Structure 1
Amino acid sequence: MWKNPSKYFAKTSVKYFERHKGEVNCCALSPDYQLLLTCSDDSRIHVWDAKSGLLKHKVKGHKGPVKSCCFSPDGSLFASSSHDSTVRIWRVETADCLHVLTGHSKCVETVSFSPDGTRLLSAGWDHMIILWEVQTGQRFKTYTGHQDATLCSAFSTDGSLFATGNWSYTVKVWSVNKDEPEIVLNRHKGNVSCLCFSVSGMLASGSWDKTIIVWNPRTGAIIFHLKGHEDWIRTLTFSRDGILLASTGLDKMIRLWDCENGKCIKVVKSMLEMTHVCIFSPEGTLMLAGAMGLQQL
């Protein structure tokens, strides 16, 4: 069992990032924790200095609300998806658009880089999942196994699997090189809103049913069914060693779970209205980014 969870929750101030003119749909921190991405219904992406709060780039290009954003593993690129049915890949240093990826016919809700940064996964309302070659911007593979909108996606840490969650209350686990899902996980009772793999191979899924399920993604076995949030789950992240799982929900609560026994070992009320990012820094400090602020706990 984790012996000292309190070290993850030292009180500090909140930095606010308030220049968007619409609801913020997603945030992402760069791999070195120096930059913060925010994307919004105002069709813009902002790149911030995470420590100072200064706006570095105001990125324009999408023609509709931007739904999702993420950094590449090496931090040199970021990707975004939009209600305009496109996915874009951008250079971090200059905020120039490297590729405009067209192939979806409806809103694209989620984008995820593979662990080696060579491919990008996108999915949304058209029931299609597309895997793209990052260097060329060409389509590598299309998967059509969903019968409903896909809300979230994640790659396993070794890159051999990816998972998608949808409005049909299911999680599907895919092998990159196969057309059909390896396994379908269907124990949630609400839309699946977030996914995260641990370094040890566990898969966590959060849902509108207010619960988190930790799975063995290769067998479909449930390791833990975590309950305690009072509203739907917004974000999930494992610590780098896979021992801890952090979760945030629309109940404004942050929960820290012990992945050895499934117990909740800490509950903290967020100072923010909604938490879009929840990650562990290399030093072990839990960083949280909200709809209009960045909070270090």
Structure 2
Amino acid sequence: MNSRAPLFVGKVKFFGRHRGEVNCSAFSPDGQTLLTASDDGCVYGWETKSGQLLWRLGGHTGPVKFCRFSPDGCLFASSSCDRTIRLWDLSRAKCLRVLKGHQRSVETLSFSPDSRQLASGGWDKQSGHKLRHLEGHHDSIQSSDFSPSENSLATGSWDSTVRIWDLRVGTPVVFHQELEGHSGNISCLCYSPSGLLASGSWDKNIHIWNPNISSLIVQLKGHVTWVNSIAFSPDEGQLASASYSGTIKVWDYKTGKCLETLKGVLDVAHTCAYTPQGRLLVSGTAV
């Protein structure tokens, strides 16, 4: 996306057949399919260009809190308040496996860049994947993301901290960095393609970190309620953020300047995501 190109609320396409709040959205790597997770217990697949509903998948017995495609585009995963993770085959829209082990709601999922590992975190304060069990946060985990190098995993917690875990083979199963500075629950985080880390919080602020040196680069202020979702544009020129107030903000995160505030068509903005080409921005809401 051209970092100077304005975004217009008038150019909106609605995907409106959910039967509950939309908690998460994700584009397939080729940008042709949009995935949405709903409180109605289903995962929806949409054709991005036409807005046509491709499938509505049940199976979860509680609200679906998170969804994400694997980077190779072959799979997607969904997590739920029913304490399970479902792994799906994209080409057949079929559930391949149900992953169990969490004791409470599973709030976040993250595929490694090579699509071979899946991390999950939830209200039981635990995060990890089938190779390791990561424990140490003092409260619920609501967000996670693998670094582009695949060597580390970042997790955000209601204990107001971000932890970065060393996943290299042969290293101890302990976190090797803790990023502090937020004064509220960490609700979302994501890595940029170059390895910067962004975190959003109930304190209404977004922090941009250089995780290599545990340094806070810039603080983005302007939301009037807590931040629910954040996303870097693919070219790293912008950062989008969705808030509980129903607004989407687009930032020049290098300067800390808010470029656009999109509002007027949303209730609670639960999620935001760029298409892989960066030309479109999607948001999910409570209405």
Instruction: Report the TM-score when normalising by structure 1.
Output: 0.89
Residue aligning to 1:136 = none
Q: Residues 114, 147 of structure 1: CA spacing in aligned structure 2 closer, same or farther, 3 A cutoff?
A: same
1:166-225 CA distance string (max 9 Å, x none): 111111111113411111112111110110111222111000100001111122211001
Contact 2:23 2:284 survives alignment (8 Å) = no
The 3-state SS of whatever aligns with 1:14 is: coil
Alpha-carbon shift at residue 24 of structure 1 (Å) = 2.0
Counterpart pick for 2:103 among 86, 89, 105: 105
Contact 2:226 2:243 survives alignment (8 Å) = yes
CA distance in 2, matches of 1:92, 1:230: 38
CA distance in 1, matches of 2:185, 2:277: 33
The 3-state SS of whatever aligns with 1:121 is: strand
Q: Residues 167, 283 of structure 1: CA spacing in aligned structure 2 closer, same or farther, 3 A cutoff?
A: closer
1:216-272 CA distance string (max 9 Å, x none): 112221100111111111211112232322222122222222233222233332522
CA distance in 2, matches of 1:283, 1:101: 32
The 3-state SS of whatever aligns with 1:15 is: coil
CA distance in 1, matches of 2:7, 2:238: 14
CA distance in 2, matches of 1:98, 1:219: 40
Q: Residues 68, 18 of structure 1: CA spacing in aligned structure 2 closer, same or farther, 3 A cutoff?
A: same
The 3-state SS of whatever aligns with 2:149 is: coil
CA distance in 1, matches of 2:264, 2:30: 24
Instruction: Write the letter of the residue equivalent to 2:147.
Output: S
Counterpart pick for 1:160 among 151, 158, 163: 151
Quick check: 164-173 or 284-293, which moved more? 284-293
Equivalent residues in 2 for 1:52-91, closer than 5 Å: 52-91=50-89
Equivalent residues in 2 for 1:111-150, closer than 5 Å: 111-131=109-129, 139-150=130-141
Alpha-carbon shift at residue 278 of structure 1 (Å) = 2.9
Does 1:47 find its partner at 2:45?
A: yes
1:88-146 CA distance string (max 9 Å, x none): 10011211111111111111111111111111010101111121xxxxxxx21111111
Does 1:207 find its partner at 2:198?
A: no
1:27-78 CA distance string (max 9 Å, x none): 2121122111122222111111122222111111112111111111122111
Contact 2:31 2:277 survives alignment (8 Å) = no
Q: Which runs of 5+ in 1 are unaligned?
A: 132-138
The 3-state SS of whatever aligns with 2:5 is: helix
Instruction: Write the letter of the residue equivalent to 1:16.
Output: F
Residue aligning to 2:251 = 257
Q: Residues 268, 55 of structure 1: CA spacing in aligned structure 2 closer, same or farther, 3 A cutoff?
A: closer
Contact 1:8 1:285 survives alignment (8 Å) = no
- Could you tell me the percent identity over the aligned residues? 46
Quick check: 238-247 or 192-201, which moved more? 238-247
Contact 1:17 1:292 survives alignment (8 Å) = no
Contact 1:27 1:276 survives alignment (8 Å) = no
CA distance in 1, matches of 2:147, 2:21: 30
Contact 2:189 2:230 survives alignment (8 Å) = yes
Aligned-CA RMSD value: 2.0
Count of matched residue pairs? 284
Does 1:268 find its partner at 2:262?
A: yes
Equivalent residues in 2 for 1:195-234, closer than 5 Å: 195-234=189-228
The 3-state SS of whatever aligns with 2:121 is: strand
Q: Which runs of 5+ in 2 are unaligned?
A: none
Instruction: Report the TM-score when normalising by structure 2.
Output: 0.91
